[in-house]
Chain A
């Protein structure tokens, strides 16, 4: 009977080794160097087999750990992947998962801290727009399964007493958020989206042709260069589709006011500074129309 090392120590060592960024054997060496493990701990823990050492066997788990999370992050951040190319994306995610291992039982939240992580990562220093791009992609991913709400219809709005319109408290749907970015990430998102589509079309054409050409530029594309530009973006889900749109300061402040619970009259009043009453009314009307069309308001 060999009760040592016990379940807690077994799991702790197993975890440290399968999440080590360079693999199991270098991970063990690092633990030994830090005095957190003895050189023989792995061999004492795991049986060896016909053709595989304990480290080989644990490496299977190490690879599954990393590549499962990498696949998930690629799915949540496809434009960032396109911007960086596979090699840089892989290395960034290695750094990210080491610094920010998953804290939630659902894989869905694995990328939650990536935008903030990029701000302080060397790649984010080299190309600051990347953090904003990641922030936009995460906002879109995050709304995919946000709570549903019946949208406010024009008919319902029209049925409200018009002389009390100023007292109406509009509500935003749960699947809505606003971002304040330091770069024009929506423009970058659009360019990368076009690039992904073009690559897919080229790949489809090459598949029909005699050869499939290796696209060296896609492996390590030039990093995005975007001058700082304050950009407000609204992101929302309509039905099951996710949208985003840069918005002017007036619209952003109006949506903030609605989110804060201000009545429509107060929202309109805020817009009247520097405008005639007719101009302010017209602006409110156009914004309301757009919000109704996009399903931003809930019934």
Chain B
């Protein structure tokens, strides 16, 4: 059965953060300034214990989005049916606002790197990814969103830009796009393209969610480390994204050197302030695709 309304952007959830172990007790013990939480799907595909218990209780209070890292949508290995069953079971339990994963491959030959490995942007890869997104959506009975990743290589064989690939994938597969603004910035610096041109090349109606995060400057390249505050150029790019795409659910990720929950809330509030300010500049209508 094809997913219903594949191009419809899900409802605006507001401003969220990733639910991380360090903050479990804080999130459950008092009210927060956070509108919704995103969870790493694989961390909760478990039979019991604290993570499962916490997720159940957080879900009672907040909307949840499930964000996976191991769907491996671009791998030439067969789709992992056991993984998909666990993902569907988790979705049945959590009732997430939506499910997302990455435009990448995570392993090959039956092995997993637990990393987001880059794809060549070729017609062959596009057809492969589109076909697999469609299969996943049919299996889950719902459309999913696919996120652009930070990258440190480009392939000589690529035939199109990343944003062209992402846009065409979303159009053909009927999936959404999770636009990671920090990843665009990191890849733009690493490969020398214009991040604004990237944003302007994405069809507005396909964008379901934004990600924001910090990165590390390694001198010769930027590394997507999620261990710093969001930097000013990424905030500027986010403002441009809000201008172009309108009101899109936004999430701040912070996965290493994790700060206090209150500091994370501040980062999320900064995103909210930008969205509010930009929205006041003109009616928050999405730009035409």
Interface residues of A (CB under 8 A from B): 1-8, 10-12, 14-15, 18-19, 44-47, 49-52, 54, 56-58, 60-61, 64-65, 68-69, 72, 101-108, 110, 144-149, 174-175, 237, 240
- Within 8 Å by CB of A14, from B47, B114, B117, B192, lies B117
Say whether B125 faces chain A, with CB atoms less than 8 Å apart. Answer: yes
Q: How far is the CA of A127 from the CA of B186 in the complex (A)?
A: 46
B245 to chain A, nearest CB (A): 30
Query: Within the assembled complex, what's the spacing in Å between the Cα atoms of A289 and B74?
Result: 54
Query: Which residues of B sit under 8 angstroms from A52, Cβ to Cβ?
Result: 220-221
Partner of A105, one of B74, B83, B117, B119: B83
Question: What 13 additional pairs, Cβ within 8 angstroms, besides A2-B157, A45-B155, A107-B114?
Answer: A3-B124, A7-B119, A8-B76, A11-B75, A11-B105, A11-B108, A14-B117, A57-B153, A61-B113, A61-B152, A65-B115, A175-B48, A240-B50
Q: How many A-B residue pairs have CB under 8 A?
A: 138
| A-B interface, 4 closest residue pairs, ranked by CB to CB distance from nearest | A105-B70, A145-B46, A148-B48, A145-B49
Number of interface residues of B (CB under 8 A): 49
Which chain A residues lie closer than 8 Å to B156 at the CB level? 2, 44-47
Docked-complex contact B112 and A104, CB < 8 angstroms? yes
Residue among B115, B159, B190, B192 making CB contact with A61, cutoff 8 Å: B115
CA distance A52 to B190 in the complex (A): 10
5 contacts between A and B (CB under 8 A): A1-B159, A19-B113, A65-B114, A103-B112, A110-B114
The interface residues of chain A lying within 8 Å CB-to-CB of B192 are 49-50
A102 contacts B48, C-beta separation under 8 Å? no
Contacts of B155 in A (CB 8 A): 10, 45-47
Interface hits, B104-125 → A, CB 8 Å: 105-115, 117, 119-120, 122, 124-125
CA distance A165 to B223 in the complex (A): 64
Determine whether the beta carbon of B153 is less than 8 Å from that of A3: no
Within 8 A of A (CB), among B151-176: 152-157, 159
Q: Within 8 Å of chain A (Cβ to Cβ): is B45? A: yes
Q: Is B52 interfacial (CB 8 A cutoff)?
A: yes
A174-B47 contact given A15-B111, A52-B220, CB 8 Å threshold: yes
Q: Does B205 contact A (CB under 8 A)?
A: no
A148 and B159 form a contact (CB under 8 A) = no
Q: Which chain B positions have C-beta within 8 A of A147? A: 47-48
Residues in B whose Cβ lies below 8 Å from that of A5: 157
Q: B153 touching A103 by the CB < 8 A rule?
A: no
Whether B88 is near chain A, meaning CB under 8 Å from some CB there, is: no
Which residues does chain A contribute within 8 Å of B191, judged by CB atoms?
49
